[in-house]
Homo-oligomer: A and B are copies of this chain.
Amino acid sequence: VVAHRVTIADVAREAGVSQQTVSRALNNKGEISAGTRQHVLEIVGRLDYRPSTLARGLATRHTTTIGLVVPDIANPFFSELARGAEDAAQAASHSIVFCNTVEDPERELSILRTLEDQRVDGVVLCSSRLPREGLLLAASRHPALVLVNRAAPGSGLRSVAVDDEAGAVAAVRHLVRSGRRAIGFLAGPPASSSGERRRLGYLAAMAEYALEPDPALAAPCAPTLEGGREAALALLRARPDVDGLFCYNDLAAVGALQACTALGLSVPGQVAVVGCDDILLAGLVTPALSTLRSDQRLLGRKAVEALLDGNNGCGDGADTIWIRPELVVRASAP
């Protein structure tokens, strides 16, 4: 059982002042003489008084709590992001309650409602699966909301996202500059919006160098080792001239490495390979994988900062913060 909790009334009595004065001393608001302030704070310290967040929240109508909604905290992308978010939150003396949508839109909605009930001061909503309407409605019910890796153009909603397009451009440029001309693209799952942005970057970079935009060079794939291997096998067989591969993620890229081995193609001699994400494995395979590293921790930090800095949602439209991935050059595409 928990011991009796000392309340503001106890402090007031002990200090011989009113509750209000204690409140003022604590919150540094309203005028108060330095003397009584000192005195009150001393009593506060002696009694080890700590205000109840609940009571304060009820009175002030804002908790210092923010909601973090992710598809799955066990996914390294989001756990890294969560770390960054909590760092930023803790720096601003805020707490984070997190929830997993497990990719279920209904669940996502119910989570957003629950967060309302808790009167969180804001929500960081990652990879929302909600249709635009539902998203805007849910957002309107919160004092503040920042989207991650999902834009809602024209809604005024702020968002933070990995600049997959710029990343893809950098990767493809790197391949071209190292002499590659027939560059294939393992595009990932068809429904992936980040995959779509990478495709745009891929096409833009190809166009930049007036290289053939042959649709046959791009193939969807499951975001797994096997998916990458199969897709790469098919692609390399159909187009033996391919000398460079840009892949949806590192797992697929490692699969592509296996495909090259299976086909007797040397990497990077005959085919150069670039992945995405810079997972641990990327640096450990042979040859080590060149890849795009995006700083998810930074992403989380920025999201929370945007939420808290909040010129609250009165945005003038284009308020997306883009996090540029960094190209990590290793042996697979020097």
Residues in chain A within 8 A of chain B (CB atoms): 1-3, 50-55, 57-58, 63, 65, 72-76, 78-80, 82-83, 86-87, 90, 95-100, 113-114, 116-119, 140-143, 225, 254, 279-281, 284-285, 297, 312
Contact = CB atoms under 8 A, between A and B. Distances in A.
B2 A141 contact: yes
Contacts of A82: 73-74, 79, 98
Nearest to A87: B100
A80 B74 contact: yes
Contacts of A95: 97, 99, 114, 118
Contact of A52 (B90, B119, B281): B119
Nearest to A84: B74
Contact of A54 (B73, B97, B119): B119
A106 to B, nearest CB: 13
B79 A76 contact: yes
Counted per complex, copies of this chain come to: 2
Contact of A99 (B50, B86, B99): B86
A54 B50 contact: no
A118 B53 contact: yes
A289 to B, nearest CB: 12
Contacts of A1: 143, 312
Closest 8 CB pairs of A and B: A79-B79, A74-B83, A97-B97, A53-B118, A54-B58, A54-B57, A53-B117, A74-B80
A281 B285 CA distance: 9
A225 B280 CA distance: 11
Given A86-B98, A99-B90, A118-B95, A74 B297 contact: yes
A1 B254 CA distance: 48
A286 B195 CA distance: 30
Contacts of A54: 54, 57-58, 63, 118-119
Given A1-B312, A75-B79, A79-B82, 14 more contacts: A2-B140, A50-B116, A51-B117, A52-B58, A54-B54, A65-B97, A73-B73, A74-B297, A76-B76, A90-B99, A96-B97, A96-B98, A225-B284, A281-B284
A3 B254 contact: no
A23 B286 CA distance: 65
A117 B73 contact: no
Nearest to A143: B2
A239 to B, nearest CB: 27
Nearest to A258: B284
